[in-house]
């Protein structure tokens, strides 16, 4: 994390350098992806070492976290000052509800269908404490009156890591003999969540360029979200 602290210090000496701030945020995003990708659960998925039972356990706990996703977004929108920013984020919500460019079932329905295909239900297992902490962490950030908190948590700590995380999860299932068709929820989000993250990162970047001290807020929110996600994987 030293490189990020150094980057924040540098922002004080170059407060009007928009390109530099964009580079720092991009570096922060990549660091979050690297941290999560090094977790043993995901490296085990890539190496085919995670059993199908553990992967099913992930499906249940991830489903418990994901079922509140529209609420995270709605809470974030309440705390965005610009109507244009609200509309940009609403596009993400619109797609999540199945009303994107290609009409499809809501993502929550796709997830439920995937669970059923594995004979799983969200209430079949208790919500693990680490899962609840992950839910609470992102919701608390989204509830903050300054939208930069929720943007950072949702973008850098959640949406930006999805393609990498879900790619590993898919690898884990495939190496256990599961067909890709059964994993449509994950393959769909690998393709679309880069766009979701980019939308929020563009808003976040503008806010930080306007007020460079907000970089520390972004770094703090992203770091705590990644720590909560690592603890989530630890519990699996």
pTM of the model: 0.89
Three-class DSSP category at 108: helix
Per-residue pLDDT at 105 exceeds 50: yes
Q: Where residue 5 falls among pLDDT bands split at 50, 70, 90?
A: very low
Q: How confident is the model at residue 100, as a pLDDT?
A: 57
CATH number belonging to domain 49-234:
1.20.910.10
The model's pLDDT over 115-126, given as tens digits with 9 standing for 90+, comes to 999 999 999 899
Q: How confident is the model at residue 68, as a pLDDT?
A: 94
Q: Residue 146 carries which DSSP code? A: S
Per-residue pLDDT at 146 exceeds 50: yes
User: And the tokens for 97?
Assistant: 């509800």
User: And the tokens for 190?
Assistant: 């690998």
- Residue 104 or 97, more confident: 104
Q: How confident is the model at residue 196, as a pLDDT?
A: 74
- Helical (H) or strand (E) element with 74: helix 69-78
Q: Where residue 13 falls among pLDDT bands split at 50, 70, 90?
A: very low
CA distances from 67 to 3, 30, 62, 96 (A): 35, 26, 9, 11
Region 208-233 average pLDDT: 96
Per-residue pLDDT at 15 exceeds 60: no
Per-residue pLDDT at 137 exceeds 60: yes
Do residues 155 and 204 touch, judged by C-beta distance below 8 A? yes
Region 42-66 average pLDDT: 98
Per-residue pLDDT at 170 exceeds 70: yes
Q: How confident is the model at residue 189, as a pLDDT?
A: 85
């Amino acid at each position: 994390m030293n490189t990020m602290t150094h980057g924040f210090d540098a922002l004080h000496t170059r407060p009007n350098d928009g390109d530099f701030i964009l580079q720092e945020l991009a570096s922060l995003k990549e660091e979050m992806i690297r941290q999560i990708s090094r977790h043993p659960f995901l490296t085990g998925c890539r190496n085919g070492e995670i059993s199908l039972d553990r992967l099913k356990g992930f499906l249940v706990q991830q489903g418990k976290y994901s079922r509140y996703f529209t609420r995270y977004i709605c809470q974030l929108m309440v705390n965005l000052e610009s109507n244009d920013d609200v509309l940009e984020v609403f596009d993400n919500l619109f797609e999540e509800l199945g009303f994107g460019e290609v009409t499809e079932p809501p993502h929550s329905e796709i997830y439920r269908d995937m669970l059923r295909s594995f004979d799983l239900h969200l209430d079949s297992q208790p919500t693990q404490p680490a899962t609840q902490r992950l839910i609470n962490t992102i919701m608390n950030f989204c509830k903050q009156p300054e939208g930069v908190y929720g943007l950072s948590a949702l973008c850098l700590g959640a949406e930006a890591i999805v393609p990498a995380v879900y790619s590993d999860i898919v690898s884990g299932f495939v190496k256990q003999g599961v067909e890709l068709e059964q994993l449509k929820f994950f393959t769909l989000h690998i393709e679309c969540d880069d766009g979701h993250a980019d939308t929020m990162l563009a808003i976040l970047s503008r806010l930080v360029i306007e007020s460079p001290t907000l970089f520390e807020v972004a770094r703090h929110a992203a770091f705590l979200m990644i720590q909560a996600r690592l603890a989530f994987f630890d519990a699996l």
